Amino acid sequence: MILLEQVQKTYHIGDLAIPALRNIDLRIERGEFVAIRGASGSGKTTLLNLVGCLDAIEQGSYRLADTRVDQADDDQLAAIRNKHIGFVFQLFNLIPRINALRNVELPMIYAGIPPEERRRRALKALQRVELEDRGLHNPRQLSGGQQQRVAIARALVNDPPLLVADEPTGSLDSKTGQEIMKVFENLNQSGVTIVMVTHEAEVAAYAQRTVWLRDGAIVSDRVDQ
Ligand SMILES: Nc1ncnc2c1ncn2[C@@H]1O[C@H](COP(=O)(O)OP(=O)(O)OP(=O)(O)O)[C@@H](O)[C@H]1O
Ligand SMILES: [Mg+2]
């Protein structure tokens, strides 16, 4: 499903070149649940942003579900994201002044889905994360774990085959983090491919495979026991 070959990424600040990823070769099959780990600054977010098509590939090649991502322009990247990818972030990134249902409906507004269908699918997505009774709450009226579940519901409404998550439990206590990982585990069992960045061993333990980065390079890639 994901095939990165010889991908490099260098950030430029004025004349300064900061190598962030070097010679990345990574292949992820449909249905996998992969954790990306490594020290702060090792390139995890940079790699996830490339995998999630949030950033364009400048060097190397990337194929996602038979689409050549490395040749896509910004509009094409947006279309690829819309069709293939759901996103979950450390800080939930919900819109504060609208309720959970409206937050979950947002990606469908961009996808041009009519209002009744939107509402129906938003409710279904909230059911999938066991939050159907909180649809009318604003984010502020929800716990951190509930906010993250709304964010997961929002990531799922367009039925993307791939979920990418950057430190999805990073703002949660460990018990709530485990609950979020159980949600991920269920999604993965229902066929969603997951690529997740995490610092925490207990969180990574939910994945079947761990890729370690050091100074922008993959130094270990193994299927967990
Ligand atoms: N927008 C940017 N401009 C310039 N340099 C950047 C930018 N984003 C990241 N970097 C640099 O690229 C390297 C990799 O950063 P990245 O954010 O991918 O690390 P990370 O592994 O996600 O770290 P953390 O665990 O702290 O989130 C770091 O050296 C960082 O300073
Ligand atoms: Mg990061």
Please report the DSSP string for 139-167 in residue order: GGGS-HHHHHHHHHHHHHTT--SEEEEES
Which of 11, 40, 58, 214 to probe ligand 1 with, by most ligand atoms within 8 A of CB? 11
pLDDT at residue 112 in the model: 87
Structure tokens at 52: 């999630």
Distance from Cα 89 to the centre of ligand 2, integer Å: 10
Q: Given ligand 1 and candidates 10, 12, 15, 18, which is best to mutate, with the most ligand atoms within 8 Å of its CB?
A: 18
Instruction: Identify whether the C-beta of residue 21 lies closer than 8 Å to the C-beta of residue 46.
Output: yes
Does the beta carbon of 205 sit less than 6 angstroms from any atom of ligand 1? no
pTM listed for this prediction: 0.95
Q: What is the CATH number of domain 30-55+85-223?
A: 3.40.50.300
One pLDDT digit (tens) per residue for the chain, 225 residues: 999 999 999 999 999 999 999 999 999 999 999 999 999 999 999 999 999 999 999 999 999 998 999 999 999 999 999 889 999 999 999 999 999 999 999 989 888 899 999 999 999 999 999 999 999 999 999 999 999 999 999 999 989 999 999 999 999 999 999 999 999 999 999 999 999 999 999 999 999 999 999 999 999 999 987
| Domain map (residue ranges) of the chain | 30-55+85-223
Q: Beta strand pairing status for 33-38 and 209-214? A: parallel
The answer to whether the CB of 198 is under 6 A from ligand 1 is no
pLDDT at position 224? 81
Q: Which residues partner with 121 through β-bridges?
A: none
146 lines ligand 1 (CB under 6 A): no
Q: Tell me what pLDDT residue 66 has.
A: 85
Ligand 1 binding pocket includes 42 (Cβ within 6 Å): yes
Q: Measure 99 CA to ligand 1 centroid, in angstroms.
A: 33
User: What pLDDT does residue 209 have?
Assistant: 98
